[in-house]
Structure 1
Amino acid sequence: MPAGLFVGAAVLAVVLSLAVGAPTARADEPVASAPPATTATTDAAAENAATTATPAPTPSDDPARTTTPTITSPNPDELITTGSTSVRGSRDAANEIQVFPPNSTEPACIVPPSSSTAWGCASVPLVSGPQQSIRVIARNVISNATETASVTVSALTPPIITGPSPSNGMVSGNGAYPDATVTVTAGAAASCTVQANATGVWACFLTQSDGTGLPSDSYTVSASQTASFASSPSEKSATAQIVIDSTPPAAPVITSPRNGTHSVAAPRVTFSGTGEDGATVNIDSVTKKPPFSSSSICEATVKSGHWSCTGKGLPAGSYDVTALQIDAVGNPSRASAITLSFTAATTPPKSPTQPPSHAPGTHAPGSVAPPSQVAPAPDPSHTATPAPTPTPTPGVIPPNGGEFDGPNAEWLATTPYTSTSPPTIAPDAFPGWLRALLLAVVALLLLALPARLLAGALSRSRVRNGMRARSGIFGRNRSSAELPSVVGTSAAPRWLVGATVLVATAALVTLSSSASNQPAYLRLLAAVAMAVVVVNAVWALIGMLGAGHLGAGAASVVIAPRALFLVALTALLSRFTQLSPALLFGLVLGVAVSESATTIARGRLAATQLAGLSAIGLIAWMLTAMLPAVTNPVAGFAAEVTNAVAIISIGSAAVSLVPIGRLAGRAIFAWSRPVWLGLSLVIGTVFFALLVPVDALWRSGGGGLLLVGAGVGFAGVSLAAWLWMRYIEPAR
């Protein structure tokens, strides 16, 4: 018992000494934890514990204390060009660190307390933009107290490629800064640049250095961007594998209705056929007679190799109906075409008793007049007209002011090619030549140069929409110096194809004008055919002889059957605008040169051909002044051949100078623009002096203003299209 009392007294003494000697904690500090109790305590130990005061704790000593963290990386106002960044700094070892990306309420990472005061967050995601704040919060896990630090940076992250694949060359994506410039590369093979829209979405068409699309293959692409607030571009994006399909599908086949079908016009018409799976087939129609108009009928998607669509019916008339299919990646096919004719539905008679309408006193052909039906008395106004007195045949030029009679009268009828105004160099003709020169300048400014801009705009449109240039009369920019289009593998002999094309050209040229009777028309057709042969022979001969001398290499004559489209276009334009003499184009033969021929050689060859063709036209034009009067069919034929050579030569030279497609003017324009300008002014002046009634056009008032207005409208549309494709479309 005494021993128990003694032990209890000792314990009580130790407790009292600790209570008296311990320092008092401040209200704003946590109470320090008591040291672990020892198994034995003496008065000396108690006294020592009471007299040794504990200093105020440092952050590392006070587990409940929170200090403001520091950020050592990234630096303030640093530009970060990747999609994420590493954030590092120092802290109180007892604090937890939370790192928040810009404009985020969720931490990108949390660093728990540890024995180290250094901390780091390896990947904090960023979005593109200037002056963005990365926040760092230090939190004491015991007291839950927090302190915040931040650093402001700018970020330009790589854009994101989303596809598509397969593609016709189009690459699209998102993740760009609004209105930033995105550059996409497919290694060294191709690239494209486009401006992102306001939401960061972008798309562009990959092209090679020569402006052409990529051939079908698999390509590795990446993208980067630049923005106005960033001093350097972003890093390249993650690569994407894209399969390019640049092969156009075959032309669709129209199986119903069949080509040449004649039927009654109906409210609805159905077309069907075959095509490539997944492609979209568009059906359009064009009237075959003026006024020409086109319309879209219907479209369908090819499923299991077949398609069918129904559209609004066509009115009575004849139509060329075309079918064009665009595959799943946007490659267009060639068009297939059929000809259809529709007749108006017949209207039944109003009454079954209503007799058909016939001329007074007559009955229907093949029927017998009823006995009871008595013909009315003849009206004096409908009495038979006596045979007319012979009058001069319209268009015939009688000799010495007399009248032709006999079998040659019809063969001597004049045509628009029988006579033209011969050239004059007299001083009083100078104003006319000056006006012709001014018209040539106007045509240059309102037609030729705008056509070049429009061709460039259409080329950019095809590239951006993944469309290959369709084979047409102008075609793509090729190496040839004029309009060559090599005839494909055909079973027909080459001479037969050439003869057919020349005859078709002569027929189309003849249609540009009218003749008063059939014999005169046949004579004109023969004269135009001979002129077409002469013009094409001169063009081809100059090309063949000049190719070797001008460094264009070996040359060969080729046939350009697609040039018939341009022949028909100029002939119809002359016919419907009643130009006299007519504006004609008749070049259907060309010269193909070596693929290794330089731009200079091609341009010189084209200029030589145009100069030679114009010279032949001028010679023929001057010969017209020396021809005898047309007093017999032979003289009329000679006059028509000479005038046709002059009109077709100079008209073809003027049209060929337009610097687009495969026309000779394109080769000259690419070689030397001063030479092109000089030729355009000289040939254009002769063209207007010969083919256009300059005085009448100059004084026509409203008609002249209408033509100038049409030219200004064309120039405006061409310039607008070029500006749109050059500056506005890339920004969309």
Structure 2
Amino acid sequence: MLRAALLVLVTLASVLIPIAMPHQAFAASTTENGAETATTTPTPNATAQQVASPVITNPSAGAFIGSSTTTVSGTRDASSEVQLLSPTGGDPLCIIAPDGTTRWSCRNASLPSFSAVTLRVVVTGDSTLSDEITVTVLAPPTVTGGVSNGLVRGTGHPGASVTVTVANGADCTTTADGSGAWACYLDGVTSSGSRDVSARQRAIYSGQNSSNPSPTVSIAFDIDRPNPPIITAPAAGTQIPVAGTTYVGTGENGTTVTVFAGAYSVCTTTVTAGAWTCTVGGIAVGSYSLVAVQQDAAGNVSRGSPGLRVAYVAPPAPTATRTPTPSPRPSGMATPVPEASIPSPSATGDAAPVAPVPTPSPSASSEGPAAGVTPGQWNAPTRFTAAVSSPFTTAPFPWLQAVLLALGAMLLLALPARLLAGTISRARGGRPLWSATSIAGRNRARDEFETAPTVQLNRWLLGGAALVAAATLVMLSGPVVSQPAYLRLLVAVIVALLLVNLSAAVVPLWWSTRVMHIDATITFLPRYLALVAVAAIGSRVLDIHPVLLFGLLGSVTIAAGPTIAQRGQLAAVRAASLMALAIVGWTTLGALPTAAGLVSSLVAEIVNTVVLASIGSAVLVLVPLGRTSGRSVLAWSPLFWAGLMVAAFTLLFAVLSPVIDVWQSAGRVPLLWVAAGIFAALSGGAWAWQRFVAPTQL
């Protein structure tokens, strides 16, 4: 019995002791004589102090992320479950369970576009074990698909600069408004068809970093305007009531037809099965010309239909004549329409273009063609219609960037070019790098002929031919197609180059006569045509838009015995007059209305060409090579030359800022800086060798 009682007690003890001592574990130990005894050892407690904190290793702190999603990864304790918290709150982006390794990764983590996005990883159950970094995020913009007449729309980050690119190489740049909406017109699309379009953006907080390109979207471009609709009722010459008249006609399926009575849009409807009908309510008594236009889904507006003269009469009941009140306007239509832009039939029955346009885009500065602008016609836009952005745009203008680039260009290009030219000239015994005689041989003297050959050319004819040749070369700086608008562009470029050459000649002539009291003459320089061609074709090959142009055809020279100071002062006045003309033209661009017709497009192209040709010419003539104005100014006053050079380069880089933005996005700017640095180093090294090393070896 005693043995049975002891067995019961041992059994109860084995059950109760672990319950009473939950934090102790029993282990068998062996004594010196080999007997086993039960001992207790404490169970290790996995406290937070014994677990390593997780770490974010990718992306690095302060990194720029050009996508809305990214992969976040790092290290952790092998036994820890970690969570990547959402920067905007809510559920974690990822919960990563232990997998026996010290690595963790969260793919396609969704991040908001912001200058400082916090990424934080914590251990589940213990937020004190964590790590966090801050990154900059800018997601790509979106592009709206569908049908377009060249106007592309989408959404992006508010205030960001959006660059749109098409598969055929055309592009445009605009700025997203406060809501993020943007739109710009791709004037490089010259034929209808579907094309893949993508966009990238650069926000103010992203500095020089641009987002990744957006996914490509296929857009069906339709730049062919529909034919004018036809009004079949009422008939011409009939009398119709001022209210309740039904208008009937035919048109293209799916287009929107608007009927005009004089200055008033009276009704709007959609063409179905090739026919349309609408009813007017409320028009003033009088005689009006009825004209209809139609607008397709892409936004192309037809010409006006042949006008039908009808008379609106008052109803029989004696009522007061109603005041002319325009009916509700259709989308994209102005009511009442200014008389000058009302579609009116021509002598052949073909009406002029009318005012209706597609619904205005959010960004007026980069909108597509305005009222009545149609590709393929005289008033169609070209690359020179809106080549230069207005200095009064709402976006911050990169003046500081332009000044820094100007200083870099002067130190790494202009001055090294002067050193290299002087080095080569001294190496050739003072002879220039090339001359006509070095290529064709020395000409025979006139006294070797019995009668010296002379050719007398009319200087006005020669100057006109040179001007037309230069204008043709300038047009080659961009694509030229067989459209009437490019004949208009040729006229605009001729006028612009004439203004540039007059400014570069008249102002120095006046200065030499009235201020310096010396005689000066205008000299035609045929070699300048080669420089015009190099600048234009170089801009075309490098796809520089706005283009870098040179537009001078001659120079102003002092008649006899000029001093270094006289030559330098006259050259400085010449360069300053070109820069002043560029500033005046650039300021004028901000006051010009949107190019909508033949005259406004012609004026816009003249002013844009004047700005580009005058500032490009000022920069190139100030480069101190050969017998240029820059060489004369540098010999007279190096300090004055440096001031003019920096001012000219600053204006040039400010005007060409869209090109610089594109090159920065493509990663070309660092390469250009490296190339300029290599050129400066080689030029300086050649000059130093000839100046200091070579004399010691004689």
The alignment's TM-score, normalised by the length of structure 2, stands at: 0.43
